[in-house]
Structures are given as C-alpha cells and as structure tokens.
Structure 1
Amino acid sequence: MKLINKSMLTAVITLSTASIYYAQQTQDTVKSASKDIDEVILRGVTDIAKDRKTPVAVSTIKAAQIVERLGNQEFPEILKTTPSVYVTRGGGGLGDGSLRIRGFDTKNTAVMVNGMPVNDMEGGTVYWSNWQGLSDVTTFMQMQRGLGASKLAIASVGGTINMLTKAADAKQGGNVTLGVGNNGFLKTLFSYNTGRTQSGWSTSFLMSRTATNGYIDGGKGEAYNYYFALGYKPSEKHELQFTFTGAPQWHEQNFQAPISAFLKYGKDGKPNRRYNPNWGYLNGQEFSTNRNWYSKPVAMLNWDWNMNSKSKLSTVLYGSWGRGGGTGMLGSINGKNTNYDATSPLRDANGIIRWDDIVKWNQGGAVPDFGANKVATNGEIGLNTSGNGLTRRASVNSHNWYGVLTNFQHKINDNWNFSVGFDGRYYYGFHPGYVTDFLGASGYQEKGNLNYPSGYIVRDSFNAVPSANPFATATKGDTQYAFRNFDGEVLWGGFFGQLEYSNEKFSAYIQGSASEQGFQRIDNWIVDGVTVKNKQIQNTKTGFKYLFGYNAKGGVNYNIDENHNIFGNVGYYEKQPNNYGVYPSNNQNLNPNLTNEKIMSGELGYGYRSSKLTMNVNLYYTSWKDRFQRFTNLPNLTDVNGKPVSRPYANMDGIQQVHMGVEFEGAYKITNYITVNGMLSIGDWKYKGNASGEIFDENDQPVQLAAGQDNRRTFALDNVKVSDAAQTTASLGVTVNPVKNLSVYGTWTYADRYYGGVSFNQDYLVGPNGEVTDAAKKGALKYPSFSLFDVGTSYTLKLRDQKQSFVFGVNVYNLFDKDYISDARTSVHTKQLGDFKDNASGSAQQQFDAYQKTLYKGLDSSNQVYFGAGITWSASIAFKF
C-alpha cells in the first residue's frame, strides 16, 4: 500500500463518515482540504488507508472536528461515534480516559504518532494522560479497525490509531485560544508557523496549559504542552524535519467504589456521581491517596529521500524519556487502611479521609476512635513501617526509549508497488518506589532490600510533580527507595514488507513482518544467587529471554462502479506476550508456560458513495488464543487448611477470546445545509473454553487449595462475556449550517450490553469431573444501557482582510444530565429469595425485602463501578492570524 502523497489526498478526506464534513464537501473543497493536509502532516513512514482502495474498516477525524467538538472531554472521546468504539472518562481524573476497539483495550490496540509506535514496551498500555497535548497538535487522526494496514508487527488486535501532527512547513499563521468549562476548567494556547522560506527552512511551535478542579471531588489536575518543529528542504530530493514535544502533567485520581458508596453520599436515592473515596483535607488543602504525574518528551528526526521518480526512502529516528508514576499508600493504622470501607474510622461522615488525624496518630498522638496509640519502632515513635502507620509512596514507571524506523518504497510500474523496512527499538524501564509524603512521620523503615539485611530508614520524600527538566534523572539513590526497586529491559528488531497491485477497479495487497523481542527483568533488591520467597535461587538479572513473532495479512478491494465497492481481508498474527507475561509473579522466575499469543482475523465489507449518501457495512471475526492474563484479588479463596488466602491472584494462560460483529456507518446530505450521520455496531465478544492458572498469595507464594493437588487450577471461563466495553453501540447526529461559517450539531449516542468483570473465586473452580457451579454459570453481569445527548455550535467570524478570524465554540455534553454507569469491575449478581435463610436477623423473606431496598436499578449495590459524568460544558474563543 502506498504511503500518502498528493495523488492520494483527495481520497483521504472522504475516508469516513465520522467527520461532520464528509458528505458536505464538494470536489473543490476536498481539493482545498487535501492541500491543507499535504502541508501539515508527516508522510514518510506513516501507513494511511485510502478510500475505495485499502481493504480495511477505517474512520478518519480531522483537526477541525477535534477543535469544534472535543472541548474539555478526554482526547479519545472524539472517537465515541465510531463503530465498535467504547470510550469513557474512567475515574474522571484529567487524562484518565479509556478506549476499547471491538472489545480490546489499548494493550492490544496499536497507537502511533506519525507512524511511531507509542504503546508501552513492557505492558503495551497507552496512558492518555501522558499525551494530553495531542489534541492541540493533531491535524489528522485515522483509526483502522481490526489488524489494519500497518506494515509493522505491532499489537493491532483490536485496531490501529494513527495521529498525524503539525509539520514545520505548515502555512504561515498563528492561533491564540482561550477555553473555559465546568469545574474551573481553563485552557490557554498559543501557536505559530513561519511557513517555508525560500532557503527551505520552516518552523512551528505551540505552547498550552490546561487546568481543572475536576468533575469528581478532589480531582484537580494541571497539564502543559509544548511542541516545536524545525524543517529543512534543501532540494526536491531531500526533506528533513526535527520535532520535539511533550506534555508534563499531574492529576488526582479516582478508583472504583461500590454503588452503595455513591448512594450513601448522594441525595434522595440518587447517587453522588462525583464521589471520590481517595481524598480529604490535609492542613486545609486537598490531598489524595492517588496522584498520577508524568512527563514524556519525545524527539523525532524524519528524513525523506526521493531517490528517483520510482523510489523513496523514509526514515525516522526517535527517543522518549518518560519520568513519573502514580502514588498509593503503605501501611495501616491498627489494621485499617485507606481503601474504601463505609465503617472505617479513618473517614468522616462525608466519606472523605481524615488526613489531619492520620498525621496526629503517625506522630504518636491519641485519636480515640482510631484505637490503640502508635507503637514505637526501634525506640522512635514517629517511625512508620509496612504495618504501623500510613505513608504515601510512589510507584515509578520511568523509561528511556530509542528507536529507528525506515521504509523503502518502489514503484515497479503503474500497477505494482512494493516496500520493505526495518523497525528497531530499545527500551529501559525504571520501577523504583519512593516516599512522597510521610504524613507527619519522621521516616519509613524498609526491610525488603536484600542488599541491606538489617534494613534502612528512608528520611527523604519527593514531590509527585513532573520536573521542568525534560531529561531529569530517573533514579534517586538506593537507600531512598521504599517497597520496591526493579527495572525492565526490552529489545525489539523487526523486518516488514508489502506488495501491492492496483488499477481503477481492483486493488490487492499482501503484507508480512517478522520480529524478535527480548525481555530482561532486573531486581535491584536481590543479591545474586540468594533464595527468596518461593525457595528458588534468583539473580539480580534474569538475562534476556528472546521470543520470535510474525504476522501475515492481505486483502482485496473491488470497485463495482463509481458508487459501490466491496472488500475483504484476512490475517494471522503470532504476538509475543508482554514483559509481565514473561515474568508474571513479581519475581525473577520465567513463565514456565510461555507461548506466543495467536490471532486470526477476517473481515468483509461493502461501501456506497454518492453525492447524497455515503455508507459502509462490514462483518468481522477475530480469534485470540493462548492469552496470558493475571486476575488479581480473587475473593473467598481458602487454602488446603481452610485458611483464607491473603489477596490471592491467578496467572492464567491458554485463554481464548472470540470477537465477532457487524458494523454500519453512514451519512446522508439532506440539503446543502443539513447532514445526518449515524452508526450502529453489534458485537458478540466472549471467552471460548475454560482456562487454567497458578494461584499465588500477596507474597507471591504458591497456594495449595486442595489436598493432593498443586496450585494450578481450572476456572470456568467458557462463554463468559468479555467485560469493559459495550457490545452494542449506536449514534445519530445532525449537523446544520444555517448560514455561512455557522455550524450547529446534536448527537445521540447509545450503549448496551456492557458486562462487568468476573472476580474468579472458589465458585468458579471447575470440579474434578468438569462440573461447574450454578454461580459460575451466571457469568458476567449485564449492566443497564444508557443514551446520551451532546449539542454544540461554532461560528467563524472572518475579518475584513479574510486572513484573520475569530472562532467561537460552545459544547454541552450529557445535555439531560443522565445518571449512568460507564465502567464496572465486578459481576455480583442480584440475590434471590432462596439465597436467604431464617436467622437472628429475621426471616428469609424479611432479609430479602430489606436487601431489595439496597438495589440500584436492579443491581447489587456491592458492585464496584464508575459513574459517568453528568451535564458538563465548555466554551472557547480563538483568534487565528
């Protein structure tokens, strides 16, 4: 498949009905917009799908739509009207949004910036808070569902998202923007492009700041964004561009609480959707157990070499230096910690944490309802330990990441093209822990570092805020660390190739790639050759474990006539597990059941294009086998001696998921002033077959659950619905342009068949003869469906010279203030009368009647959930010159 060039740009604009402009553009405006895109995107190593040519399901968002509709939403929310995409704000913290495509999260969705992979190389996750600035600099965003058209061997099980940023040679001009919104949201932005000079130089830069008090209680956050690009085109053969960008940020976080908590602190039987169990006041200031902070500057050097009329070599060198992490708590007070507990004395009547009283207790003071006073450690009353006193610590996830990506393209003749390339990466991750607040204590005693058998006392704390220095050191000193200190090292090398045939009617391609990935875990608290925990000899360094992976895919598209086209694609992918699947149990032991994950995917699609109506319909099927997944905090497990297992988890392998479904999207131009957009996606995503796993306790010790059996057990997973994404989604939108430069829109979105996560316990253990309990047969819990309405308007006021303008915008989200559950961790099914027995609390019927009053929309109120945000709004004014 060709990379984007001028001959492709007209088609690129009409890729998807996700854009409100899709059916509105005439041929002249398409050409104009194409020229704009040609000026602002990097094309060399970027795989861009072409409408009616590339046989994949694809949707495209342009910068204008991002500017008009994103407002103070999370960046992924701009995709929420795209088929099979489920986007939420997660816990509601700044940048904590989550995105799933066809039921797959970002660990299994390839996210790229200008063709550069950005998924974390250890775990595969993309933290959108680290990319806050992308909404400011993205000029073109394309999402390919399924295995997609990318030539790289990347984690595109669910799909591929490629965000193309401003280029240095964008046309001359600038922009000043001020945005405001609910709960103290304030955004300021300034950008300027010099345009290309006669000598071939060009420059672009941007600065912005975003701050908010947060929709959730105790949810403050602040983010900056800087972007600088320097371009040089010495001749028609060579073009270079250097880009440096970053978005340092911090924000307070919220983690799921039971429905009962939202109801308890609500009013008139309605939940308090803003309730956040993780915060309180410390010395009169908001203070949270969980703060995330990060700075991830990225540098890229792109070189495009037009070797001749048929050959081109495109190369990008890049580096990333991530610094930051997230905070949590160490220790307890008389067995009580800050996790949500409605009866905990550590919380006040409003459910927030009593930080000032915790400080008093840490210092040895008497807090009567906390229980016994603090006991001195080594004669020091103010010293905290892992079980005596509360300390806020940080789990650091810093890294140094370097890579090279090069792609050679050659046009054999008018119909045949091929390309080959190399993708090389090196990643070193730093994962120490350190103290961010002693909460009045004089220090923290650490005894987990085997290099210091008698332990040591940490006296210094560090601020959980990003450094102003983009190249700040990732380490702080051995005896400054608390509760952990390990590193991860990842090597990656891959080759890829593609052969493409195309004419006016027919196009086809085949792609293949192969990669070798090496993982090493480095535990800085282990002395080489010592025996730890599970009675095995461990060393500081594991040595590299190398794994080979590959993929092969192909597809065809046939343009029946100027209106109709059909396409199909198929692919097979052997994907290496991530670092946490290679070394799964928080120690240096290699996974004995290590194997590649195997993905098989196929898709059929139909498209229709006319001056009035555009639409796409496609069917997909994806089988994902030999998955590894850790299930944490398994409840109600007892060992062979009948003792409860402390915070057990299971390392489960051999998991298979099957995802299939149908997708529709379309746009109809009713008049020159009114356009209707719609989409519908219906999926069927579930586990296939049971899966087995090894059970461990919180100390990573294997747990024997039954006499004569080891700690490996089989769980009833067959036909359980995949959680974390609505399997039915729909949207309908209307855009009206009553007068020139004025746009008014309204959008309805719908989500149904969202299933909660299953917390595997003893009920889910498969019996010796394959028997499954009635409780396990219930599977995942289906949560209520919901509908949301968004409205907005934008108006561009052109000044007399037409070169300057003001752009005004207003958006209102969840217009009717709908109460709804957006995310759910658990699947606690509603109890029936037969689940109750007569006892001292009353008859079974009385207990059942009392229980019924605790339900929320028919749901057991012990379920752990996030509520979606209520009505929110944003407004902005921009001056463009």
Structure 2
Amino acid sequence: MKTMKNWLLSGLLFLMVSTVFSQGKITGTITDGQSPLPGANVAIKGTSAGASTGFDGKFTISSTVNTGQLIISYIGFQNQAVNFTISNNGTTDLGNIVLVSNSNELSEIVVKSTVVDVAKDRKTPVAVSTIKATEIQQKLGTQEFPEVLKNTPSVYAVKGGGGFGDSRISIRGFSQNNIAVMINGVPVNDMENSSVYWSNWAGLSDVTSAMQVQRGLGSSKLAIASVGGTINILTKTSDQKEGGSIGSSFGNANYLKTQASYSTGKLENGLSASILYSHTMGDGYVDGTDFVGDNYFVALGYTTKDNKHDFQFTFTGAPQWHNQRSSSITIAQYQKYGVDGEPNIRYNSDWGYLNGEKFSMTRNYFHKPIGSFNWDYKINETSKLSTVLYGSWGRGGGARGAGGVRGSSYTADAFRTADGLVDFDKIQAYNSGQTVMINGVARTRTEINGNFQNSSDTGRKGAGTATDPYVYNSTSGISQISSINSHDWYGGVINFNKKFTENITWDLGVDARTYVGIHYQNLNNLLGADVYFDNTDKNNPNRVLTNTYTVSPSGNPFSNATAGDKINFYNDGNVNWYGAFTQLEYSKDNLTAFIQGAVSQQGFKRVDYFKYLSSDPLSSTDYENILGGNVKGGVNYNINEQHNVFANAGYYSKQPFFNAVYPGNASIVNPYLVNEKIMSVEGGYGFRSKIFTANVNVYYTTWDDRNLRINDSNTTTNNGGYYDYTGISETHMGAEFEGNARITDKFKVNGMFSYGNWEYSGNANSTLYNSANVELSKALLYLDKVKVGDAAQMTASLGASYEVLERVTLDANYNYNNHLYAAISPEKFTKVDNKGSLELPSYGLVDAGFSYKMLVGAKRDKSVNFRLNVNNVFDKIYIAESRSNFFADDDLPVAAGQPAGSKGTYASNNMLYNGVANVNQVFFGFGRTWNFSLRYDF
C-alpha cells in the first residue's frame, strides 16, 4: 500500500508540474486594417505575460494556460480582447488582428501625469481631434508644424509671410493668441500677449508622440486663455521602447533635414534616457527667405521599483534664424514682378544683394529652450500627486530697416532694382557719402560733426509748400536694427487627484508663474554709415554709437539677455501669475459629467529705462493686480456602444494683455481697464463602429470687452506703427463634422466639414500710434455685423489612403476653404455705411503622398521607411490672407480739389486680380512643394 501511495503522489506531482510548465505559444499580426502597428501591447488577461509587436506588427507570446483572452492595446485605438485556445507545447496563430481607431483618444499609456488634460473618447465632453506621431512624421514634410492640423474642423492654418516658422493658426475664427498651446501640461503662450511663434518650436514635430486639438473652452483645468481651443502636445518620454532612428529629408528650394535619435528603454534599475538632434536648412519657397535651424531633445527618467514614483526631466530647444517677408505687398506689386499679369507669388520686397552676397533686412533669430521636471507620485490606490516645474529662457529678436533717405525707406522704388530687389549696394554707397541717383536726381549725403550719421530719422521734416508738400534733409540714412524680445520664465503646476469612490474623482491644484520680458532695440548694420545717433534715453541723451550685434541666435540658452548698447527703447514687462483650480468628475456606466472652476491673479509691472528719468516713479511701476477666472462643466452620455452625445458650457473672466494694461507703451495704467468676458455653449454627437466613426458638433461663443493690438499695414508712412482697439465684441457660432471610414482592410477614407458665422457686434474704439509710441489719431469703428477675418469660415476636406501592395501606401487629400475675409483695416470702418470685410476668393488644394516600409535585419525587426509628399499638387495660386479692405467698386483716390469718383473705380480701370482690387495688401499661399524622406528605425 505504501508503494502504491508513493506512485499516486508522484503521478499527481508530475501532472501538476506538466500543467504549470507546459509552454504553448500564441502568434499573430496587429494592424490598423492597412499597415502594421509596431509597439502594440499584447497581454494575457489575468497573468503577467506580455509582449510587444515588432516593426512588422507581429508578436509571439508564451502562455502557461491553454485557454484565455488576449488584451491588445495601442495608442489611439480601442482596446481589443481576443480569445485563444492552444494545446500543450503547441502554437496558435491568430492571424491578422485589426484594431479600431479611436481617433480622438490618447491612451493612459502615454499620459501618466494628471497635470496633462487629455480628452478621452466617449468620456470627456468636448470637441476634439487627435493627430498621432506617425501621421506627423509622414505628412508634415516641408510644411509648418501647425499645418498638420489644417484638415481638422474649424482650423485655418497658413504660412503668413512664408518665412521658416512664420505660420499661424486659427480655431473657430480665434487667432493663436487666444488658443492655449500646452506642451506636456506646461502653457507656452507668451505671458505678456499670449503669442506663439512657431519658429521657436520648429523642432516639436521631431519629438511629438501625439497632438490633440480641443476646440472651444476644452478640458484644461488651468485658467488659461483657451477661447478658441487648446492644442495639447505630448512629447516623447525617456522610457519609450529601446531603439532609435536615423533619417534625412530633402525637398524643393534646397530643403535639407537630417535627424538622429536613440532611447535606452527602461533599464532594470528604473533609469531611462532618450536623445534627439536634427538640423534643417534651405533657401525657402519665398525668395530671400533662407533659414537654418537646429533641434535638440534630452529626456531622463527614473521609476522606483514599487512604481510609486516616476521622475521625468526633459530639456528641448530649437535655435534658428530665418529671413522673412514682412513688408506689406500689394497684388499689383506681385504682378509687376510676374509674367503676363500673373503674380510672382514668391516675390519678396525685403531682400537683395550686398557686396555680392544675399542680404535680407528682415530676419528673425531666436533660441527658446524649455526645461521641465515632472514628478508623479502614486500615494495609494486612490490618490495621486503630479508636479511639473519648468523654466524657459528666450533669447533673440527680429531685424528690420530703420531710418530713411529723404523720406524714403529701404522698400521705396528709389532703392529698387529692375527685378524688384532692394539695392543695398546703392544704400551703402549713399550712407557712406557717395553720390547716387535717387528718383532721377543726383544726391549726396551731408556729414554731421564729421560723420555720416544714421538714426531713426526718415529725412522727412513735415509740411512745406503746396507744390513741394514735404521738407527733407540730406543727413539721414538707413540702418538695420533689431527689436529684442527676450525673457526669463519660471513656473510650476501641482495637481492632487483623489478617487473618492469608483464613480467620483476630485482634482485640486495650483498654478504659479513668474515672467520677465526684456524689450529693447540694438544696432545690427550701419550699411556704410559711420555712427548711429540715439536721443531716446532720457538718462543718457545724445549718444553716438558704433557697436553692432549679430542677427544669429546664441547657442547658449542662458546667455546674458541685457548685454550691449540699446537704442530707441528699453523696458521690461513683469508678469506674475497665481492660480488655483479644482474639478469634480462623476463617471458611472454610460454617464460622465464634470464641473471645473479656476481663479487666477495676474500682476503686471512695467519698468522703463529710457522713457522716464530714473528718479521718476513711472520708471518702475507697482504691480497692477487683476483677478480673473472661469467656470465650466459638461456631460457625456453613451447611449450604447455606437452612439454618444455630450454638452458643455463655460464662462471666462479673462485678464487683458499687457499692452492693454499699459497702452501706448507708457507706464500709465489704462483708466478704462476691464476684464474680457467669454461665454460658450456646445453640443455634440458621436458614432463609433468597426467600419465608420463620426463626430458632429455645434457651438456658440460670445466675447465682450476685447482688447486687440495690430501693426499698421501702412509701413511706408507710419514706419512700424500700430493700432490699439478697445471695446470689441464678437459672436462665433457654427457646426462641425469629422468622420473616418475603413472601406476595406486596405482602403481608408476620412473627411471633415465646418461652417461658421463669425461676426463683430456693436462698435469699438481705435487709437493709432507711430513707431515712437506717439498717439496720432483716434477713431470710432462701426463694426456691427462685420465679418471676422483672417480665417476661412467654411472649410472641408476629403482624403483617402490605399495599400496597393504590402506596406506600400498611396494617399491623397483635398482641402477646401471658403468665406475667407480680410482682417479689419481701421480706415475702412469709420463710417456707419461701410462695406464690411472684403471677401477673398475661395480655393481648394490637393496634397498627395507615397509611403513604403521595408523590413530589414535578421529578425526583420528593423525597418527602412520611404516617404514622398507633394503639397498643392496642381500648383494652385491663391490668396491666403489680406491686410486691407479695398473693394472692386471702390473709387480710386483723387487729389485735393478733384471730385470724388472722377477717376472711376478699380474695376473700371481694370485694376483687378481674380475679382479683387489689386491695391490690396495680401500674402499668397505656396505653390507646389515636395519633399522625400528616408528613415532607418532600429
């Protein structure tokens, strides 16, 4: 009996060991229905077994159970459960597993911090679109970073003057000054005027893992100026999968970009690191807009063994310089330097040759690195603390022309060659005392105290006689100077997240920032003159200067921001921000609701080193503290697995920008200062299936007591002046649709449509200042029912992609823009019966691309990626924006004493282009561009 018992025990033990250690394998390929999904996570439910897919989308996972369920997850796609059955020591091949896209979802896989407010599909009640890293890598090419969003509803992205990084974006008719841009939860809009200069962030496309656009007030808990929407940019982290890439891209206009990156992955000791560097250069599509840019990114991370603490440090920057096209150019000027009446859309009136080399008077150069330290602390299963501390150190500015010769600036015909370039050699000759022909007359410059002296003086001295209305001097000259806009910026956001129950979550946090903007001008090039005279510093008048300073960015992110001689103005803008926020979220079954509130105090202080004597109290003001805040809430209800509806509403009391607190660049607080008020309501419907997804949104937003500053487009007579508007009211309403369809596993279609009605309401006040901040005039503007300009109020797109062979894909997209109006130009709105905003011709553009991924390596776990992009395939000529509002049936201007209308209209004089009066100052969009990229991923 004892022997029999031992045999039975041994047999049972053998069966148990055989069961526990039997090794079956599961294989398969994860795709999006068109191409493989590398890096997808595959896990056996209820076990610790897991694997990731390779570059070909394939995975192999070992299992100690014979039956079970795989849970497959990938960023931007719905999690999918797949049942499996395997025999002992056998292998089960599940074949192709197609994941369904959640186009508006970013998985918690990439969002660890509760500081980052990412909208979740069928849960967060906001209108949202998500662009994934793969799409940015593929389709951006030589386009600007915001342009990757142009096929998003209610988004209008254009290139501005066409310089590298000079693009701009509008959402629902609101400019990017009123769109919150967040990078890993850190707000990056300038703290004085909320500006975003994309040239400072040219490298973001290299390091972005995903980008989410929330239209409307959005889901951010911070009291930020997200009137039009929020752009959430999530950069790569240190603990991404081990590997790297090397790539290069080249395109039209001698575009060349090289890039390399590497990530260690998370090591056994919890440490991780990622680095990236890229270099970009080219001639620019627009003539004379050469550029050079670099981008660096460093990320270091550490996660404790118990996963309670996660630390991430990132530091990224993109030093660059780029020549610009910033002067206002009329359609007639584009035509003058074109062929057969067609405009030369590449024409740039700001550049030429100096001593045989290219020279541009207008150049932007800047280096704005940002460093952040993130700490995520999982206190327990229901509590989490997320902290981000950050700093940014901007150094650089923008160069332009200053002064003049006998009343003429450098852009005048007197200094223009036959082919439309600026004759800088002629300017240099005149500045140095040589006799040159100016408007058919020989002119020689006069010395001052034995020197040829430049200054801000244009040479025009005011009223003369009726036959010669201006008096000129022969002493002034032309220089290149820069407006420096450097800053030091430090801040932090702390968020405490508490899950009270399975259904109720509470957030509480603080947001603190301090900012010093450093503003002055310096001298870059005397262009042949001997000295520069400046009399603007009351503490040190009548200075004669000779030192000049570079128009290239400093490679040192912490360089001295105040070194060197200053001219014309020198002041600091100090802004302090203290905010607190809270949010309560309820989620149960198919219902999600939230209510959120935030309060902030902004303090504005102005320090002026030139305008006032140092003994004057106005040389350094006290802080003007202004309280603001917002409250918003929303609810989403999932009717079933396919249908959901949502609604949200909010109210903002928004502090005005710095220049509205201290108008006219003086140190006197605006006596009529009030907060701007924004109210918004929105509703939406979503549909989801394995074949088709769609979102429909409607919105209504009002904005009262708005302040606005814009540059005066008439730079010839006002030499860099500006308008300050107060009391503007606007109403923006509209509807949006966005959809994606997977017709077959290889054929995908996407589309969007948006229609807006964006108008001013009531009247507003306008004040014109010249470049010396002297008030020139005031006017009442009649803006009621005038259309809001600078963005197309109707947009649509339709795109498709098709995998013609395995890993070979063709794609194309058509983008249409209509109801595009010019920006308001004050001189056209001083009468009640004005004609409103000028409507520009509609236009549609076709973009196309070709992709091929070749798997390489012994295990075919590496890849070589080829991509060809062609933008504006049919070379469409179109007007992207206008700074003026001259109508075809407007009368031509007449001289004093002549009857109005005696010269006829622009139309009757054949002064039209495509139905638009050719005296309008416009920027054309780019014609056909292309780029080819090659990248090796390992």
CA deviation after TM superposition for structure 1 residue 847, in Å = 5.2
**Residues 424-573 of structure 1 aligned to structure 2 (within 5 Å):** 424-453=512-541, 455-477=542-564, 480-528=565-613, 539-573=618-652
Q: Is the 8 A contact 2:158 2:168 kept in 1?
A: yes
Is 1:120 the counterpart of 2:190? The answer is yes
Q: Distance in 2 between matches of 1:811 and 1:647?
A: 38
Q: Is the 8 A contact 1:493 1:516 kept in 2?
A: yes
CA shift, 1:467, in A, is 0.9
Q: Deviations over 1:334-372 (max 9, x none)?
A: 110023x4xx21111111100011111111111122653
Q: Deviations over 1:76-95 (max 9, x none)?
A: 11101000000011111111
Cα offset, 1:538, TM superposition:
6.0
Are the structure 2 counterparts of residues 732 and 562 from structure 1 closer, same or farther at C-alpha, using a change threshold of 3 Å? Answer: same
Partner residue in 1 for 2:697? 618
Of 435, 444, 447, the match for 1:373: 444
The amino acid across from 1:350 in the alignment is D
The amino acid of 1:473's aligned partner reads N
CA contact (8 A) 2:324 2:364 kept: yes
Amino acid at match of 1:653: T
Query: Which residue of structure 2 lines up, in the alignment, with residue 597 of structure 1?
Result: 676
1:323 aligned onto 2:395: yes
Aligned partner of 1:424: which letter?
A
Aligned to 1:640: none
Structure 1 position 578 matched with structure 2 position 665: no
CA distance in 1, matches of 2:105, 2:614: 63
Q: Structure 1: how far apart are the matches of 2:896 and 2:456?
A: 42
Q: CA deviation at 1:580?
A: 1.0
Asked if the contact 2:533–2:544 (Cα under 8 Å) also holds between the matched residues in 1, the reply is yes
Whether the 8 Å contact between 1:40 and 1:168 is mirrored in structure 2 is no
Q: Deviations over 1:54-89 (max 9, x none)?
A: 100000011000011001110111101000000011
Amino acid of the residue matched to residue 248 of structure 1? P
Q: 1:263–1:627: structure 2 CA closer, same or farther, 3 Å change rule?
A: same
* Counterpart pick for 2:830 among 765, 770, 774: 765
- Report what 2:763 is aligned to: 690
Distance 1:849 1:150 in 2: 49
Following the alignment from structure 1 to structure 2, what is the Cα–Cα distance between the partners of residues 837 and 183? Answer: 43
Partner of 1:237: 308
Per-residue CA deviations over 1:16-56 (Å, capped at 9, x if unaligned) read xxxxxxxxx99764699999966655534101101111100
1:801 shift after superposition: 1.2
Equivalent-residue separation in structure 2 for 1:571 and 1:32 (angstroms) = 26
One of 743, 747, 762 as aligned partner of 1:674: 747
Deviation at residue 831 of structure 1 after TM alignment: 2.6
Mapped pair 1:13 → 2:70? no
Separation (CA, whole Å) in 2 of partners of 1:506 and 1:177: 46
**In structure 2, what is the Cα distance between the partners aligned to 1:827 and 1:311?**
57
Q: Which 10-residue stretch deviates more, 504-513 or 28-37? A: 28-37
Identify the range of structure 1 (689-698 vs 395-404) with the bigger mean alpha-carbon deviation.
689-698
Aligned counterparts of 2:866 and 2:772: Cα–Cα separation in 1: 57
Aligned partner of 1:743: which letter?
A: T
Q: What are the residue-to-residue correspondences of 1:260-279 with 2, within 5 Å?
A: 260-279=332-351
Aligned to 1:726: 792
Contact 2:300 2:313 in 1 (8 A): yes
Q: Does the 8 Å CA contact 1:635/1:760 hold for their aligned counterparts?
A: no
| Residue identity matched to 1:481 | K
- Counterpart position of 1:18: none
C-alpha distance after superposition, 1:209-233 (max 9, x if no partner)? 0101000000100110000011011
Alpha-carbon deviation of 1:105?
Answer: 1.1
Q: Secondary structure at the match of 1:368?
A: strand
Classify the secondary structure of the residue corresponding to 1:263: helix
Which residue type is aligned with residue 362 of structure 1?
N
Q: How far did residue 848 of structure 1 move?
A: 5.3
1:41–1:139 contact (8 Å) kept in structure 2: no
Match of residue 421, structure 1, among 502, 509, 516:
509
1:801-845 Cα deviation digits (max 9, x unpaired): 12211000001000000010011111111136x779999999989
Between the aligned partners of 2:392 and 2:170, the Cα distance in structure 1 is 25
SS state of the match for residue 350, structure 1? coil
Give 2:830's aligned amino acid. L
1:84 and 2:172 correspond: no
Q: Structure 2 unaligned segments of length 5 or more: list them.
A: 1-40, 46-70, 79-94, 459-475
Identity of aligned residues (%): 45
Shift of 1:764: 3.1
Structure 2 residue 810 is the aligned partner of structure 1 residue 744: yes
Q: What pairs up with 1:636-655 in 2 under 5 angstroms?
A: 650-655=723-728
Per-residue CA deviations over 1:748-807 (Å, capped at 9, x if unaligned) read: 00000110022212x6335xxxxx2x3x1x110000000100000111101141221100
Higher Cα Rg, which structure: 2
1:506–1:27 distance in 2 versus 1, CA, 3 Å:
farther
Kindly tell me: are residues 660 and 378 of structure 1, through their superposed partners in 2, closer, same or farther at Cα, counting changes over 3 Å? same
Q: Which amino acid aligns with 1:824?
A: S
CA 1:729–1:629 in structure 2 vs 1: closer, same or farther (change >3 Å)? same
8 Å CA contact retained: 1:398, 1:430? yes
Alpha carbons 1:836, 1:848 under 8 Å: kept: no
Q: What secondary structure sits across from 2:805 in the alignment? A: coil
Pair 1:282 & 2:370 matched: no
State the Cα deviation string for residues 102-138 of structure 1 (Å, max 9, x = none). Answer: 0111110000100100000011000000001100000
Deviation, 1:379, is 2.6
User: How has the CA–CA distance of structure 1 residues 862 and 599 changed in structure 2, closer, same or farther, with 3 Å as cutoff?
Assistant: same
Residue aligning to 1:769: none
What SS class does the counterpart of residue 548 from structure 2 fall into? coil
Name the amino acid aligned to 1:495: A
> Do 1:217 and 1:276's aligned partners in 2 also have CA atoms closer than 8 Å?
yes
Provide the secondary structure at the position in 2 that maps to 1:55.
Answer: coil
Question: Pick from 424, 447, 452: which aligns with 1:355?
Answer: 424
Consecutive unaligned residues of structure 1, counting only runs of 5 or more, are: 16-24, 531-536, 637-643, 705-710, 767-771
SS of 1:257's partner is coil
Q: Are the aligned partners of 1:384 and 1:441 in contact in 2 as well (CA < 8 Å)?
A: no
How many angstroms apart in 1 are the aligned matches of 2:721 and 2:257? 44
CA distance in 2, matches of 1:842, 1:700: 35
User: In 1, Cα distance between the equivalents of 2:900 and 2:279?
Assistant: 60
| AA matched with 2:137 | V
The 1:14/1:574 distance shift into structure 2, 3 A limit, reads: farther
Contact persistence 1:42–1:167 (CA under 8 A): no
More relative contact order, 1 or 2 (CA 8 Å, 6+ apart): 1
Paired residue type of 1:582: V
Amino acid at match of 1:874: N
Structure 2 residue identity aligned to 1:730: A
Distance 1:26 1:421 in 2: 45
The one-letter code matched in structure 1 to 2:559 is A
CA drift at 1:589? 1.5
Which TM-score applies when normalising by structure 1?
0.90
- Shift in alpha-carbon separation, 1:425–1:848, aligned structure 2, 3 A: closer
Q: Which moved more, 1:554-563 or 1:739-748?
A: 739-748
Question: 1:12·1:49 contact (CA, 8 Å) conserved in 2?
Answer: no
Query: For residues 671 and 893 of structure 2, what CA distance do their matches in structure 1 show?
Result: 44
Q: 1:238 to 1:664 in 2, by over 3 A?
A: same
The one-letter code matched in structure 1 to 2:540 is Y
Conserved 8 A contact 1:189-1:206: yes
Distance in structure 2 (CA, Å) of the matches to 1:382 and 1:827: 39
2:595 maps to amino acid: I
Q: Deviations over 1:649-679 (max 9, x none)?
A: 5533221110000000111221111111110
Q: CA RMSD in A?
A: 2.8
